[in-house]
Structure 1
Amino acid sequence: MKLKQLENIDLFADLSEEELLCDIHGEMVEYKAGEQMWLEGDEAKYFMVVLEGTFQIYRIIKGQRLFISTFTKGMTGGELPLLAGTPHPGNASAMTDVKLFRIDEDNFWQMLGDCVPVRKKILKNMANRLQEINLLSFQREKLLSLGTMAAGLAHELNNPASAAKRASQNLLSTLDEFDHHSTEMLKSSMFKVPDRPGFLFQPIRDIINIDIKLSSLERSEREDDLIDWMEELGLDEAWDIASMLVAVGFTKENLSTFCEQLLPEQVPNFLRWMHKEVEMRLLSQELTISTTRISDLVTAIKQYSYMDQNLQEAQKVNIHEGINSTLIILNHKLKTKRIQVIKEYDEGIPLVAAYGSELNQVWTNLIDNAIDAVSEGGTISIRTYIDDTCMDTHSIAVAITDNGIGIPKEVQARIFEPFFTTKGVGKGTGLGLEIAHRIIVGQHKGDIEVSSEPGHTTFTVYVPEEVK
C-alpha cells in the first residue's frame, strides 16, 4: 500500500508528494463491537492504523478497571511495545466495530528504515506517549492505592463507628431515666410539698431545648438577668451557670417560678445541679453529632470507592449519591474556606450505566478545582438535569459552577491537555482535568464543556445513560 492512500491518517499527514511514495505492506483486520482485541501481557506483533471505529485501552489494577486511552479513526498505535520489545502494556477492547490496517513487525521496521519522515514522527509520538502513559499510570495507581486503603479503613471503622453511634443515642435516654430515679429519691429533701402526684421535675425538663436559636442581644440580656438573680442567691459561679442555662432556653422568669416550689436552702444546689445536667445533655448531643459524622464518612467512603462491587464492569449508578459522597469527602476543604454549596438536583433523572468509582474521580477533580478557584466565603453550585441537545444520545448533565477567578480565555483550549496547569509550581499536576476528560469522553463516550469568565466558571459533564 502506498502511503498516499493513508494521507488522511494523523501520522502521515503533512507529508510531501515525494515522501508519500514509500511502499508499505500490511493487512486489513476487523473486530466486532465488544470483542477483546488483545490482553495485557500478550506479545505485541503489529503496528496499527485505525481506519474505522473506536477501541479502548485499559488495565486491571487491584481488581479495578483503569482506563488508559481511546483510539479512534485516523490514529495509530502499537509502536511503543514494538520499539521497546515488550508485550502489550494494557488490554484492548472494541467499543464499536473496528477496522485496522495492520503492519507486522518486519514490515514495520522496513517502513522505519525506508520512510525517514514517518520514522521521525513515530519516534516523537512514542516518546510523548511513553511519558504520558507512565505518568498517568503512576498517578492513577496512586489514586487506586489510596482508594483501596480508604475502603479498607472504612471497613475497619464501620463496626466501632456504628457501635459508638448507637451508644451516643442511648446515652440521652439513659440520662433521662437516671434523672427520674435520682430526683425521685431527692424530692422529699428539696420540695416544700414533696407528696404531690407526678414527676415534680417535669416542668423544668420541658423547658430544656438544646436546639434553641437566640440572637446575640437576646442571649446577652437573658444572661445578665440570670446572673443578677443568682448573685443575689449567693452563687459565686453565676456567670458560668447562666451561660450554660440560657443556651438551652432558661430565663430568670421560668427558673425563679420553678424555684418557688423548692426549699430556699436547696435553690443554689438545684441551680448547680441543673448546670451539670445541661452540660451532660450538650455533651451527649455533641457525641451524637460526632459519631453520626464518623458513620456518614464511613458510608461516603464505601459509596465513593464502590467497595465490595465489581469495578470492571459498568453498573447502575446514582449520580447524586456519587456527588454527595464526594462533597462529604471534601467537606474539610469546603469548611476551611467557608464555601457555600448550592445543590439543584433534578430528582427525576434515572440511574446511569457507568463506572461509578471513576465518575466519582471526575466529581472530585472538578469540585476540588472549584474549591481552589474561589476565595473564602465563595459559592459552588451543582445542577443536574436531563439533556438531549449536546449529544446524539439521552444524557445526564452535571453543571458545576463556581464564582472564582475564572480561566483565562487564551488557555481554555488547553485545559484538558496532559500536564497543563494554571496552578503554581507544586500545587497541581496538570492531570486532573485530563483524567476527567479521558473518563467522560474516552471511557463513557460522553462530553465535557467549559465556559469561564472572571466570577463565573462552569464545567458541564454529559454522561450517556448507557455506556456503549
Structure 2
Amino acid sequence: MMGQIWQQIRPIAERVGQHPTLRAWRGVLFIAPSVTLVTVACSFTGVFHLLEWASLDRFFHLRPPETSDSRIVIVTIDEADINHIGQWPMSDRAMAQVLQHIKAQEPAAIGLDIYRDLPVEPGHAQLVQVFESTPNLIGIQKVGGNGVAPPPILNDLGQVAAADLILDADGKVRRALILIGTGNGEFREGLGAKLALMYLADRGIELESVDEENNSYRLGDAVFVPLTGNEGNYLGADTGGYQILLNFRGGIDKFATISLTDVLENRIPPDLMRDRIVFVGTIAPSLKDSFQTPYDSVVFATPTLTPGVAIHANLTSQILSGALQGRGMLQAANRWVMWGWIALWSAIGAIATKLLLQNYPLQKQECLSSAIAVVAIASFLLVVCGYVSFLGGWLIPVFSPFFALTASAILTANSHNQWQLKRANQQLEMVNEKLEEYSLTLESQVRDRTRELTETLHHLQTTQSQLIQTEKMAALGQLVAGIAHEINNPTSFIYGNVAYAEEYATDLLEILELYQEYYPTPEPEIQDRLEEVEIDYLKEDFPKLLTSMKDGASRIREIVKALRIFSRLDESDLKEVNLHEGLDSTLIIVQNRCQKGDGDAGIQLIKDYGDLPQVCCYARELNQVFMNIVTNAIDAIEQRQKELTAEELQRCPSFIKITTSVIENARVVIAISDNGLGIPPSIKHQLFDPFFTTKPVGKGTGLGLSVARAIVVEKHGGDLRVSSHPGEGTEVRIEIPIQFSASTHQK
C-alpha cells in the first residue's frame, strides 16, 4: 500500500524539486534551519553566555544616566573611618552610638549591612538595648556557602535579612535575591527587598499575588516575575529562592552618602535621614566587600568594584521606583522566544544575502564582501532592537542571533557561489553545443557585419564633411572681416572725392549755362550733341547722382567702421574702450533687419545711453555678446510680427531698447530689452545650456547665451541675468566692472 502511494507521489516530488525557483533557494532552505539548530545547541550549553552578558553590560553603559534616588542614604565605612575608630570589627559601643545617632534622625528603616553574630566588647549591653528599642532596624546573616549567623537579639525579634549576593559565571552581580531559604526550613528576605517592603508597608502598599502558579506578585505598580532557569542567558542556572534581574540605577554615587566618622561625631545634616532608608555598610577595599557589576566593565583598565551595600541599595531603589513610579523591571525572554529570535535572524541573514546576490550578480571575491555588508547592516538593526528592548525592560539575546546571522550570510554566499559555478558550467555546455549551429550562419553574420561597417564608414565620412564645412565657415568669417578692412581705403577715397566732384560738376554746369546765355545759337553739331545727351535732364539729375554717391559712400564708411569696431582685429585684446561704440556698431550691422520693408512693420531701435566712462575689457568678446543678444531680440520680434495683425502692430510697434548706466561708481549696466513674445517659464532654467535652442533647424546653434554668459561672468567677472514675461517681452541685463581684475579672469 505504501509502495503504491510513493509511486504516485514520487513524480510530483521530482517535478517540484526541479522547479527553478526552489532549486535556486534550496541552499537557503537548508542553511537557515541548520544554523539555527547549531546556534540553539550552543546557547543551551552556555557557549554564548559570557558574550551575551557582555552585551547586556554594554547596554547599561549606553543607557542614559539615571537620576539619584533621594529616598536612600548610605553610611559608608572606609579605611579612614576604620583608622578613626581604631579597630575592626568596631566595638559594640561604637556601633550603638552610630545607631543611636541615626535613630535620632527618624529614618523609615535602617539596614545594618555588617555581620554581628558575636559580641565585640566594650558596650555589648548598650548595643543590645539599642537593638531592642529600634523596631525598624534590620540586621543581616549570610545564608549560602560559609554561613554567618544573624545578631541573636534581632533574630529573636524577626528583624533579620539575607545579605547574600548572586554571582554569574563571569563573577559579576546581575541578579538579586528577593527571598532565600535557610537550612532549617525558614525563608529570609534579601536585605534590599526587606527594607523596600518596610518602606512601602508604611505607605499602605502590600504584596498581592498575581499568578500563584508562576509565583508572580504585584507591589504597587510593579509586577515581579522570578527567574526559573528557562530564560535565555540563564538556561540551567541555579535560580533557587526568588531571584529577579537587577535593573541597576548606578554605583554608590547615585545615593546620598555620609561617613561613619561624621555619624559617630553627630555631624549629620538636619533631615538628611528623616523618612529615608539608611544603609550602614563598608566600602573599604581591605574588607573585600565589593563586587563587579555591569558598570564595572572596562577593557583597558582595572575595573572599579561596587560595594555590596550599594548593590543592596540598588535593589531597594529598583523596588521602590517600580512600585511607586512604574519604573520597568527587567525580564529575560524565555528559551522559546530566544530560539525563535535566533531562527528569525538566521533566516534574515540567509534571505538578505541570497536576494542581494541574486539581483546583483557578483564575482566570487565580491560574494564574501556582499555577505559582510549584509551582516553589518543587519547587525546594526539587531543591536538597535536589543537596545530598544532593554530600555523597555526586556532582555533579548544579541550575540547568539548575531552568530546565526553571520554564519547564515557567509554560508549562503558560499552556496550561491557554488550554485553560480554549477550553472556557469551548464551554460558552457549549452554554448559548446550551439557553436556548431553558429558556425553554419557565420558567413551570413559576416555579411551583415560588413554592411554595418560600411554604413558606419559612410556616417563617419558625412560627419567629416560637416566638420570641414564648419571650419570653412569659420575661415569665411575671418575673410569677410578682412575684406571689410580692405574696403575701407577705396571707400574713403570715394567719399573724400565726391565733394570735389560735386564742386567741379557745379562749376561746369554754371559755365555751360553761361555759354547758353551768351551763345544761344550754337553750331549745329553742338546743338545735335546737346539734344543727344539731353542736357536739361543731365543738369537736373547730375547733382542728385552725386548726392546719392555721397550718401552711398557714407553708408559704406559707416558699415566698414562698424565692422572694424565690431571685430577690432587691429587692436589689443584688453584695453579701455567706449562701450557705446560697440553697441552702435552692432546696431549698424543689424540695421537692415530692423528697417521697414514691403509689408513689414519694422523695428524701432531706442538708445537710452547714460554717461559711461571708459571700461577696461575685452571689447571684441563684448561686441559678440551684444550681437548675440540683439540678434535673439530681433528673432523674437519677427516671430511676434508673424502672429499679430498690421493694426495690432501699428497700435503697439516693435522695438528694441538699449539702456546704459553706472551703479556704485564701479560697474556699468547694459540692459537690452524687447517687446517680443517672451520666454516660457518652463525653459528658463535651460537658457544658458550649450546647444539649447528653440529656433528652427539651421536658424540657430544654441550657443549664443552660453557663450555670452562665459564672456561676461567668467572672463570679466560680471553678471548676466534674463528676466522675461510671456507675451510682454524680455530684458537681458549685463553688469561688468569698470576696472578689469586679473584675479577675476584667472578665477
Q: Please give the TM-score of this superposition, normalised by the length of structure 1.
A: 0.49
RCO higher in structure (CA 8 A, sep ≥6)? 1
Q: Which structure would you say has the larger Rg?
A: 2
**More helix per residue:** 2
